[in-house]
Amino acid sequence: MSDLKTAVNFRELAPAQLAPYIQHTRIETGLTRDDMIAHAKETVEHGFNAAMVPGSWVSLVAAELAGTGIEIASALDFPTVGVTTSAGKAFEAEQLVKAGPTQLDIGVQVGWLKSGMHDEFREDIAGVVRAAGVPVKVMLELPLLTDAEKELAVQLSLEAGVAYLKNASSGQIETANPTSIRYLVDRAPEGVLVKASGSIKHYEQALGLLEAGAVLLGTSAGLSIISNSSDENTASY
User: Is 7 part of any domain?
Assistant: no
Q: Give me the CATH number covering residue 98.
A: 3.20.20.70
User: Is 35 part of any domain?
Assistant: yes
Q: What distance in Å separates the CA atoms of residue 90 and residue 124, rounded to the nearest whole number? A: 8
Which residue range(s) make up the domain with 108?
18-227
User: Is 120 part of any domain?
Assistant: yes
Q: What is the mean predicted confidence (pLDDT) over 65-89?
A: 90
Torsion of CA 209, 182, 81, 90, to 10 degrees: 110
Q: What is the pLDDT of residue 233?
A: 47
Q: What is the mean predicted confidence (pLDDT) over 181-210?
A: 97
Question: Which residue among the candidates 89, 137, 195, 201 is catalytic per the annotation?
Answer: 195
**How many residues can be counted in the chain?**
237
Q: What is the mean predicted confidence (pLDDT) over 119-135?
A: 98
Q: Note if 186 is an active site residue.
A: no
pLDDT band at 133 (very low <50, low <70, confident <90, very high): very high
What pTM value is reported for the model? 0.92
Q: Note if 231 is an active site residue.
A: no
Question: Which residue among the candidates 105, 124, 137, 150 is catalytic per the annotation?
Answer: 105
User: Is 175 part of any domain?
Assistant: yes
User: Is 6 part of any domain?
Assistant: no
Q: Give tens-digit pLDDT for 92-117.
A: 999 999 999 999 999 999 999 999 99
Q: What is the mean predicted confidence (pLDDT) over 55-62?
A: 97
Q: What is the mean predicted confidence (pLDDT) over 63-79?
A: 93
Q: Note if 98 is an active site residue.
A: no
Q: Over 50: is that where the pLDDT of 1 sits?
A: no
Average pLDDT in the chain:
93
User: Is 12 part of any domain?
Assistant: no
- Asked if omega into 135 is within 30° of 0 (cis), the reply is no
Question: Which residue among the candidates 137, 150, 166, 201 is catalytic per the annotation?
Answer: 166
CA distance readout (Å), 175 to 126, 161, 186, 218 = 27, 26, 19, 12
User: Is 4 part of any domain?
Assistant: no
User: Is 64 part of any domain?
Assistant: yes
pLDDT band at 2 (very low <50, low <70, confident <90, very high): very low
Q: What is the pLDDT of residue 154?
A: 98
The tally of domains found in the chain comes to 1
CA distance readout (Å), 120 to 95, 97, 160, 188, 217 = 22, 23, 11, 22, 29
Using alpha carbons, select from 206, 144, 147, 211 the residue that is nearest to residue 182.
Answer: 211
Q: What is the mean predicted confidence (pLDDT) over 8-19?
A: 93
Q: What distance in Å separates the CA atoms of residue 216 and residue 22, rounded to the nearest whole number? A: 6
Q: What is the pLDDT of residue 6?
A: 57
